[in-house]
Structure 1
Amino acid sequence: MKKWWIGLVVLAGYSIPFVYLALLEDFKTETLLGYVALLIGFTVLAFVGQRWGHLLFVVAGNIVSYFVSIYFAGQMDTFGWDGYFKPLTAEQLILLVSLLMLIPQLIAILVAISKEKQRMKKQMT
Structure 2
Amino acid sequence: MKKWWIGLAVLGGYCIPFVYLALLEDFRTGTLLGYLLLLVGFTVLAFIGQRWGHLLFVVAGNIVSYFISIYFAGRMDTFGWDGYFKPLTAEQLILLVSLLMLIPQLIAIVVAMSLEAKKRIKKITK
Give the TM-score taking structure 1 as reference length: 0.99
For the residue of structure 2 that corresponds to 1:61, the secondary structure is helix
Give me the whole-angstrom Cα distance separating, in 2, the residues matched to 1:93 and 1:82: 10
For the residue of structure 2 that corresponds to 1:103, the secondary structure is helix
For the residue of structure 2 that corresponds to 1:66, the secondary structure is helix
Give me the whole-angstrom Cα distance separating, in 1, the residues matched to 2:103 and 2:124: 32
For the residue of structure 2 that corresponds to 1:31, the secondary structure is coil
Runs of 4+ in 1 over 2 A off after TM superposition: none
Q: Which residue of 1 aligns with 2:49?
A: 49
Matching residue's letter, 1:72? F
Structure 2: unaligned runs, 5 residues or longer: none
Give me the whole-angstrom Cα distance separating, in 2, the residues matched to 1:7 and 1:96: 26
1:60-75 equivalences under 5 Å are: 60-75=60-75
Give me the whole-angstrom Cα distance separating, in 2, the residues matched to 1:28 and 1:76: 12
1:1-125 equivalences under 5 Å are: 1-125=1-125
For the residue of structure 2 that corresponds to 1:91, the secondary structure is helix
Give me the whole-angstrom Cα distance separating, in 1, the residues matched to 2:10 and 2:71: 20
Give the RMSD, CA atoms, in angstroms.
0.3
Give the TM-score taking structure 2 as reference length: 0.99
Matching residue's letter, 2:14? Y
Matching residue's letter, 1:12? G
